[in-house]
Each structure stands twice: as structure tokens, then as C-alpha cells.
Structure 1
Amino acid sequence: MIAEKAVLGSMLKENYLILDSGLAVSQFADPVHKIIFQSMKELRAAGKTVDFVTLLTTFSPQDLGGANYVKDLMTYAHVEKFDDHLEAMLDVWREREKQNVLHVAALENWPIDRVMSELDAIHDNRVSDHSKISDLLMDVYEDPFVEKEIVDGAHAVIGKLDEMTNGFQDGELTIVAARPSMGKSDVMLHIAKHAGWQGRLPIIFSLEMSDTSLRDRLLASTGRFSRLRMRDPYRMLSGSQKGNWVKTIGRLAETNIQFFDRSRQTVAEMRMKVRKMIHEYPGRKPFILIDYLTLIHSEDTSSTKHLEVSQITKELKGMAREFDCPVVTLAQLSRAVEQRHDKRPLMSDLRESGSIEEDADVIIFLYRDAYYTKDDNDNIMELIVSKNRNGPVGTAYAAYNKYTGEVVGIGTNS
């Protein structure tokens, strides 16, 4: 029953979990917990805040186990671990339902196919993944005859990259990988702000860089301010640059970018934070960006690094599908790149490349020849699409200003 208490306590702390959990009253084992959850749902449906006071003043405290019992639920709250507690609770429910099915099947002599069907239905009662081909076909029956709005992904505003991918697609995991100092973080911020300007809700999980550092990078690239001058804007920015400062701040505020910069975050923690942001900004679909892959914390410390990364990439892909939004994750490349004459990255240069290559829908490598030649006149950045599950591969080009961090797609008005 501890898992049930943790689920209810977390719901009291964060009310959006009441509906997001997808739970039914019948999935609670404790009769008091059933009443508490039903009471929570009724309050939520009425548009009221669900807390200790509203529960006890709206319903009979005796039915809810008493004031002290409801108050005690809060001590079990752990929002970051909510998914784990929810799954533990559902495991108990599934076992309970399984025993019930087997008992009734024995009494009524059910055929084996009915038993198997009932057991399969129990396995995941929260989300139905069943579709009939007739229903799916009806959805597209009129497509050749009726003009419909084509829903594009969130565009990077980098000409050929957008052509190849049609923008970053909902439900897809994209890996952007490069060696250090190639401009990964600047590309991520470029993608984030353009997603924001397109009406998305960019959510950046920065596991290495602080939120203030990312803010300053956004200001520099958007306002075309030299990062060196950004160290002391009062003394080092020109009069015209200072005039552009407020305009740049206003423009960036329109993106609604959200930052979470705590190190060692797990994918489960990220999911909880994304859910909270979705409820705070109901009109915007999320766009998740993570810097970077191997800094994501795995709770399974007993496995090898390869298995950890494999599990994390699967969880990231699951998160993209769960929230039906793009997930873009930065990744480092191995030093093997440096040993070759042509230093353009290959798939094998990805650290723990097997699992990343398998789970990612799109893999983009960044390469700047100027990093190796030290040619200050060469500002070309190559964005090499090496994997594209639903489109072509190829190379897009952008102009990259290493002093401001600005990225401009060549041949576009970005």
C-alpha cells in the first residue's frame, strides 16, 4: 500500500498528476484510497484545487480515513519518482486482476483463447494501443479529394536540413553529435529559439552549462553581440549595440524557453518536469532539448556504460512518443575522428554507437573544417544527416559565427 500512498501524496502535491496518471478508481486496492482518489477526481473536475483543506471540507473526513491520514499522505509524496510508484502500484493491480481472471476462468471453464485475451488486456490498462485497419483507412479516405493542412515539424530554419527532415517531427528522437567546440550548444539554442518563435514550448535540460550561460549565449547570437564584449556590456558594447539590447531581450522573451540546469537528471525526472510545463503552458506543444546524452543519470548503476546508454536512448524515444513531440539530444563523438585524414564524423564515431543508431530517428553530425585549419575566413558549418528514418540523408550548410554563436542557414532568410 506504500506505492498507493506515494501516488496519492504526489497527486496532492501536483494536481495535474490526478488526470495525467490515467488511473481508474478500481486500480487502488485500499478502500479508503479508492474514496480519496474518487474525491480528488471530483474536485479536479469541478475546477477546484485538490489539497488537504479542500478534501476535508468538501467530503467526510471519516470516509477519507481521518484528517491525520490525509495529512500523512503528503509525507509519501515524491513527484520525481511518481512514474516508479505508479508502475509499482499497477504491478500489484495486474497481479490481483490476473488471479481473479484465473479463478473465474476455472469456475466457468473458459476456453484458452478467452483466458489469454483477458490476461493480455490486463497487461497495460492505462493506454489502449489497439487500432483497426478499417478505422485507420477511414482517416485517410478523403485525402486525395479534399485539401488538408499539411502539418510540418518544427523547422530549424536551415534550408536543406528542413527539406530533408521537414522539420523536427513529433514523436521522433534526434541526435546532434560532434566533437567539442564544433558548435553543438549554439545549434541547440538556434533550434530552441526558432521552435519558440514557431509557437512551440522549448524545454532545455542543460546537464553541464548553467541557465545564465545559456541565456547569455542566446543574447549574443540573437543580438549579434561578441561574447567577449558580453562579459562587460556596460563598458564594451557600442551605443548602437546598447540600443539593440532591449529589442533582443524582448525578442527572446517571445520564445518562452524553459531551462532546467541541474546536473545528473534522470529521464524520469525530465518527464515529470515536462508534464508540469505542459500544464503551465496549455497552448504550446513541447519541444525537448537535452545537453547532453552521456550526462543523463541512469538509476541502474550495476550495468555497463553501453547498457546504460542503451536504456537511456530507449527512454528518450519513449518520452518523444509519450508527449508526441520532438526530442533533440546532443552527443559527444569519440576521439577516433581525430585519427583520420578526413575528420568528418561517421556513425561508428558515436560513443556507444550501436544503441544510439538503433533508437534515434535522425542523426545529425556537425563539422567545421575551420576548426582544424584555423582559417578565420572560413565560417562554414556542415550539418551531415547520416540517418533519417523517414527521409533522405545528405549535408546542409550554415554560416557559423564563432564569436557570437549565430547560426544562419545558407540559402535561406534565417
Structure 2
Amino acid sequence: MTDTQENNSNGALLAVGLRQPPANVEAEQALLGALLTNNRAYDRVSDFLAGEHFSSRVNGRIYEALARRIEGGQLADPVTMRAELEHSGILDSVGGMAYMGQLLTSMVGIINAGDYGRAIHDAWLRRQLIDIGENVVNNAFGVSSGLSGQDQIEAGEEALFKLATEKGKDGDFVPFNKALAGAIEVAAQAFQSAGHVTGLTSGLRDMDKKTGGLHPSDLLILAGRPAMGKTALATKMAFSAARSLLRAAEEKGERPKGSVAIFSLEMSAEQLATRILSEQAEVSGERIRRGDIGQKEFDRFVRVSHELASLPLVIDDTPAISLSAMRTRCRRLKRTQGLSLVVVDYLQLMRPSVGSRPESRVLEISMITQGLKAIAKELEVPVLALSQLSRQVESREDKRPMLSDLRESGSIEQDADAVMFVYRDEYYLQQRMPKETAFDSMDKYSAAMDDWQRKMGLVHNKAELILEKQRHGPTGTINLFFEGEYTRFADLDTIHEP
């Protein structure tokens, strides 16, 4: 940087530092005057304006005192407010009760109260932006040590997202009548839905019946041993949710308002896309990789790919992604495209937030599951996280998983709203195929082979989704159809209506 450039840069920073933060004291006084004259003006600003939004601390405290009386069903005017204001000393710094007369002369009509309230709130938002900008600049200059450039970007994005979505307010109590209204709305949505599904559809009829779909703010764990089909089942759910979002938008003639994000830590984006294409085009993924397909199959493959291109589905295949980076990308996606579902494949491959140094692997997994639950609640989306199972499953005669089989099971089981296991008896039975050399006669071998084939026929193309924990509903086993050639899960129909 040249001396001239450096001087210009320093001059610009100095000019910024000398500017007065945005404020609209006149609007604050006018609004307070309107509230003192007509308490009904409060209804026009109460849903978005708080005392902290006023640039003048005195004006903010007067607003809070007025709000307390009005919300308590009491009259708030200069006469009724006099005792509280004099006793609290709120007006001492502005000339005492004479300031109330100044407010009354500045009053606006009740019709304009909402506009003045929004002007006050807008000035507060600008002040918050300036504070965030100053923090970004100070951190970039190295005032806060130990933060890399990427960490600073994530911290800045987090502050901006919080300001944009929460308007900077901290969490507070929710009145029970408001919570009841939300519960009734959910129940009405389920009642009016053809499949009685309140959340996003999983694409599996029997699972939706048992769970009501994938619900916002829920952390769902899908676990299983290798080769059970965890990724295939999660991909099925993600694809079905994205397709339902697209269809709902097309019915209204608009673009999808939400999207499905898959964080694939094990497979690349291309591998995951190939798996979805294989399932939908009914072309074996193995044959696709070998190029062992005919022209008709290839044409079908291309046609289906064009149909799927408009799905609101995005894939992030960053290996060993950190929890903080995942949170930042989800926030950005929600802000730009909308976000309806997050799928993580799988949580043992994740890293905790940048800067944290857990003492053990159990504590590390605990931090990750707590972080995933926090993302689900903050962004109000379901988070479906895949998990590996410990090898102790293999040592049992009945290899159906249990909660204790989860790796670092304590934290996962505790933080999850639902825990599901995918299990295929066919996989284990296939490994126990009789060998001729193990029998001393052909009769015994033939009998063993017949028995094995009979058992294989009973479990062929069948899978179990074991819902071991569900915080908001029943548990149990859901039988599914599994087609290994296309790694495809579907509903299992055992009874056919005429």
C-alpha cells in the first residue's frame, strides 16, 4: 500500500469514527407523546418495538414504563405516570416532569404512530449494523487474538443472521395462550392433511403415519451397521422432502420457499447424485460406474436427470466439516433460499466448533449432537443425522440394534428427539449360506441349503426401520421394501386390496 493509499484509508476510518450513530430523537418524543395522549397507539408498535430500540435511554425507560401500565390494563397518562417517574428518577437528567410537557407538544396522531415506531426501530437496526461492522474491523486488525480469517467471517455472518432473523432480541418466556394457538394450528394442519402429516414427508407411508412426518426443531438420529443402507434411506427421505417442496410450489405457481441440504462427509456430491439417479431411473449404480448400460437406459438416465435438476436440493461434500462451518452455511442457505431439512451423513465424521478442544471422543460427540440440536431449534428445521453403531452388534445372535449400541451412546440418545435403526436380516443371513465342505453327506447339505433358501425367501428385499425412541410419539418397528440393485427403500405392501 502506498503512503497516499494508507493516508486515504486512515482518513476514511477516522471519518467513520467521527460520525454520529443513526438516531431519531424527534420520532421517539413524538411517539411517546402519542402514547401518553392515546394508549391505543401502543397496539400499532407493541409487536416490534422495545425500550432497547430507543437511542435515548430516558425515552426508552419511559416507553417501558408506559408499556407495563398499558399491558396491565391500566391508564397511562401524565397524571397516572407522575408518581412512578418521579420516584424512579427516570426524568432527573432531562429536567424532571417538565420533559413530559415537551413530549405532549411533540405528539403525533395514533394513525402515524406505527410509522414513527418503524423509524425508531430502523435507526436501532442501523446502530446494530455499525456495532457489528466495528467488531469485524477490530477483529481483522487483530484486536481479538486466536481467531483466523475464516473464523471471523463465520462470527460476522452469525451476528448478521441473528440481527436479520431475531431482531437482536434474546429469548424470553412465551405466554401459554400463544403456545396453545401454535399447538392448535399444528393440529389443524394435520387434520386437513390427507395423510395426517404435519411435518415434511419422509416419502415412507408407514413412517409418516407413526411420526407425522419430519418436524421442525427435531434432531433425528438414523443409525445402523455398515451396508445396512443408512445413506440410501436418508437420501430417500431427503429426495422425497425436496420433491414435496417442489410440488407444493408448482401448485401455487411459485418457486419453492424451502430447500433440503445434505452434508455428505463420506461420499462426494457426484456419488450421491448418481445414487439418486440410479434409484429414480431404475438403472443399477454399479452398471452406471462401469458404463455397462444400453442406449435406452442411458437415455432414461439423462431424461430423469433433467426432471430432477429443478429439485430444491443442495449437497455439501466438505470432508470433516466443523459444526460452526455447518451452522454458518445453514444460516446462509436459510437466508437466501429458505431451508426445510438438514441431513448429515454422518455425525462421527464431523468436527466440533472451531476453537473447542474436547478432552475425549465422548465429549466431542456430545458437543456435536448438542450443536446439531441447537441448529434444529435455531433455524426451526428438522435435522436428520446418521450415526455408526459399535461392533458389539456383531457378537450377538440377534443383531437387531439397541440404543446401547450407539457409539458414544449417552449424548446421542439424550439429545435426539427420535432414534431410528435400519436393519436388514437378509444381509446377515446371506453370510450364513451353507458350504458343502461343512457337511459329511449330501443329504445333510441339501437339507441345510433348503432351510437356508426358505429363510432367505422370507427376508428377501425386506428391511426394518426400528423406531427405538420418539419423544413425541410411539415407538415400534416399520417394515420396508429394499431393492439392493438400486439401493432403494420403499413402502412394503403385504396386503393387497382388490
Find the counterpart in structure 1 of residue 174 from structure 2: 131
CA distance in structure 2 between the partners assigned to 1:371 and 1:202 by the alignment:
30
Secondary structure in 1 matching 2:278 = helix
Find the counterpart in structure 2 of residue 320 from structure 1: 376
Find the counterpart in structure 2 of residue 407 from structure 1: 489
Find the counterpart in structure 2 of residue 266 from structure 1: 322
Secondary structure in 2 matching 1:177 = strand
Find the counterpart in structure 2 of residue 17 from structure 1: none
Do the aligned partners of residues 226 and 131 (structure 1) sit closer, same or farther apart at CA in structure 2, a change above 3 Å counting?
Answer: same
Aligned positions of 1:99-248 closer than 5 A: 126-137=169-180, 149=192, 152-199=198-245, 200-233=258-291, 236-248=292-304
CA distance in structure 2 between the partners assigned to 1:147 and 1:398 by the alignment:
24
Runs of 4+, deviation exceeding 6 Å = 23-26, 72-77, 85-89, 140-148
Secondary structure in 1 matching 2:234 = helix
The alignment's TM-score, normalised by the length of structure 2, stands at 0.57
Q: Deviations over 1:139-177 (max 9, x none)?
A: 668999999755611111222211111111110000000
Verify the 8 A CA contact 1:168 1:326 in the aligned structure 2: yes
Do the aligned partners of residues 136 and 288 (structure 1) sit closer, same or farther apart at CA in structure 2, a change above 3 Å counting?
Answer: closer
1:255, CA displacement in angstroms?
Answer: 2.1
Number of matched residues?
A: 321
Q: Deviations over 1:283-305 (max 9, x none)?
A: xx321000111111024334111
CA distance in structure 2 between the partners assigned to 1:339 and 1:146 by the alignment:
46
Do the aligned partners of residues 408 and 249 (structure 1) sit closer, same or farther apart at CA in structure 2, a change above 3 Å counting?
Answer: same
Secondary structure in 2 matching 1:365 = strand
Aligned positions of 1:283-298 closer than 5 A: 285-298=339-352
Find the counterpart in structure 1 of residue 470 from structure 2: 388
Verify the 8 A CA contact 2:466 2:476 in the aligned structure 1: yes
Larger Cα-atom Rg: 2
Do the aligned partners of residues 25 and 144 (structure 1) sit closer, same or farther apart at CA in structure 2, a change above 3 Å counting?
Answer: closer
Secondary structure in 2 matching 1:246 = helix
Q: Deviations over 1:73-103 (max 9, x none)?
A: 79999465556578999xxxxxxxxxxxxxx
Do the aligned partners of residues 139 and 401 (structure 1) sit closer, same or farther apart at CA in structure 2, a change above 3 Å counting?
Answer: closer
CA distance in structure 2 between the partners assigned to 1:193 and 1:274 by the alignment:
18
Which 5+ residue runs of structure 2 have no aligned equivalent?
Answer: 1-12, 14-51, 56-122, 161-166, 246-257, 431-452
Find the counterpart in structure 1 of residue 106 from structure 2: none
Corresponding letter in the other structure for 2:427 = Y
Verify the 8 A CA contact 2:154 2:325 in the aligned structure 1: no
Do the aligned partners of residues 345 and 79 (structure 1) sit closer, same or farther apart at CA in structure 2, a change above 3 Å counting?
Answer: same
Verify the 8 A CA contact 1:159 1:411 in the aligned structure 2: no
1:408, CA displacement in angstroms?
Answer: 1.1
CA distance in structure 2 between the partners assigned to 1:127 and 1:334 by the alignment:
40
Q: Larger relative contact order (C-alpha < 8 A, sep ≥ 6)?
A: 1
Find the counterpart in structure 2 of residue 364 from structure 1: 420
Higher-helix-fraction structure: 2
Q: Deviations over 1:383-404 (max 9, x none)?
A: 0000010011111122112221
Find the counterpart in structure 2 of residue 331 from structure 1: 387
Corresponding letter in the other structure for 1:227 = G
1:407, CA displacement in angstroms?
Answer: 1.2
Aligned positions of 1:20-59 closer than 5 A: 38=126
Query: Comparing 134-143 with 296-305, which one deviates more in the overlay?
Result: 134-143
Verify the 8 A CA contact 1:266 1:297 in the aligned structure 2: yes
Q: CA RMSD in A?
A: 3.8
1:228, CA displacement in angstroms?
Answer: 1.9
CA distance in structure 2 between the partners assigned to 1:362 and 1:335 by the alignment:
22
Secondary structure in 2 matching 1:273 = helix
Do the aligned partners of residues 312 and 145 (structure 1) sit closer, same or farther apart at CA in structure 2, a change above 3 Å counting?
Answer: closer
CA distance in structure 2 between the partners assigned to 1:347 and 1:254 by the alignment:
38
Query: Comparing 129-138 with 263-272, which one deviates more in the overlay?
Result: 129-138
Verify the 8 A CA contact 2:186 2:198 in the aligned structure 1: no
Verify the 8 A CA contact 2:158 2:328 in the aligned structure 1: no
Verify the 8 A CA contact 2:199 2:213 in the aligned structure 1: yes
